[in-house]
Amino acid sequence: MTVVKEIVSARDLYGEELVAPGHRACAGCGAMIVIRQVLLASRKPLIAVSATGCVEVVSSPYPQTMWKTPWLHLAFENAAAAASGVEAALKALSRKYGRQKHYIIAFAGDGGTYDIGLQSLSGALERGHSFLYVCYDNEAYMNTGIQRSGATPLGVSTTTTPAGSVIVGKQQQKKDIVEIVAAHKIPYVATASPSHWRDLANKVRKAQSHEGPSFLHIIAPCVRGWYFGTSETIKIARLAVETGYWPLYEIEEGAYRITYVPPKPRPLEEFIKVQGRMQHLLKPENSKLLQQLKAYVEERWKQLQRLASASAQ
């Protein structure tokens, strides 16, 4: 396992704030909290690559930008390919001029990761390019109208899977993007939550300590798509972790390790009831769907425990 200096306080974070004030994100935007935390924790100097999505739209209304670091905007589907090109160009410059090492971070939402950008991501991982890919997961296509994506969980209501008389939200389980990425045998894969910022920051540092690609999957609650108050973003992200809905773990060189175990696990219903997109699951007539979602969450946690236990032996 890679050993890096552990972040224990905000003073351990690197340098200046790289997100300028005045961006156009919604109040309480989980994605922007994620971006800010990742950039604060990242090693410098860095180059950011951003797929089309919520973050790109709110961060760069021409001719303005919030990014206080070199930043490249791409289409929905090719953030990983562009990050690969940046890395190759930097290697060529380094061979020719001996230039300073730059860290590369690609940011994309769940639509640009699970669905539209999956082929680009898979290719970059298979080729072994050295960069950190961050998926800020708000579990739907929030930028284009709150449509379902491969990241949308079972039963969640979106504009294309509305909870009504014909269907009760999305009819499929959430795609397991972490296992898909881990199957590429890259050095480092991890989940994180902005509610547990030290864990998130330490994972950014650890990811960047490896040569080759690394991947962070970070929950990003969305005020508009999840329907909650603007002051409750971190509360909901924390509930996701404490209920086991969003387990915090890492896969380093193939070995699984759970990085946070809730001391007093809370019922999944506590996470569900505070979001308009899920509240219908608590109605008696939808109890079967609720039990399916709960069984999925519980089985995933048990499987993670088994994998972590086997890795520790």
The residue ranges of DSSP E strands in the chain, in sequence order, are: 46-50, 71-73, 103-109, 132-137, 188-192, 214-219, 248-252, 255-260
- For residue 306, the tally of other CB atoms under 10 A from its CB is 11
Question: Considering the chain, what percentage of its residues have pLDDT values greater than 90?
Answer: 91
Give residue 9's pLDDT.
85
* For the chain, domain boundaries: 10-312
- Report how far residue 165's alpha carbon sits from residue 2's, in angstroms, rounded to the nearest whole number: 52
Contact 265, 209 (CB under 8 A): no
Give residue 265's pLDDT.
95
* pLDDT above 90: residue 157: yes
91: left (phi over 0), alpha (psi -120 to 50) or beta: alpha
Give residue 41's pLDDT.
96
* pLDDT above 70: residue 63: yes
The alpha-helical segments, DSSP class H, found in 131-182 are 177-182
The pLDDT tens digits for 24-40 are 999 999 999 999 999 99
- Report how far residue 295's alpha carbon sits from residue 313's, in angstroms, rounded to the nearest whole number: 27
SS3 241: helix
**Starting from the edge strand earliest in sequence, which strands make up the sheet with 46-50, in order?**
71-73, 46-50, 103-109, 132-137, 214-219, 188-192, 248-252, 255-260
Joined tokens for residue 46? 């860095």
Give residue 1's pLDDT.
63
SS3 142: helix
* pLDDT above 70: residue 118: yes
Q: What DSSP string describes 14-73? A: -SS--B-S---PPTT-HHHHHHHHHHHHS-SSEEEEE-SSHHHHHH--TT---BSS-EEE
Average pLDDT over residues 90-113: 93
Computed over every residue of the chain, the mean pLDDT equals 96
- Report how far residue 128's alpha carbon sits from residue 83's, in angstroms, rounded to the nearest whole number: 12
* pLDDT above 90: residue 14: no
Q: What DSSP string describes 65-97? A: --BSS-EEE--TT-HHHHHHHHHHHHHHHHHHH
Residue 295, CA distances (Å) to 20, 256, 279 in order:
42, 22, 18
- Report how far residue 311's alpha carbon sits from residue 170's, in angstroms, rounded to the nearest whole number: 34
* pLDDT above 90: residue 313: no
Least confident stretch, 13-17, 81-85, 103-107, 151-155: 13-17
Nearest to 50 by CA among 18, 15, 28: 18
Average pLDDT over residues 165-178: 95
- Return the axis-axis angle of helices 79-97 and 118-127, rounded to nearest 10°: 30
Average pLDDT over residues 218-233: 98
Average pLDDT over residues 1-9: 78
Q: Which residue has the tokens 């946070």?
A: 260
The pLDDT tens digits for 249-285 are 999 999 999 999 999 999 999 999 999 999 999 999 9
* pLDDT above 90: residue 18: yes
- The CATH code of the domain at 10-312 is 3.40.50.970
Q: Which residue has the tokens 């998130």?
A: 200
Give residue 101's pLDDT.
87
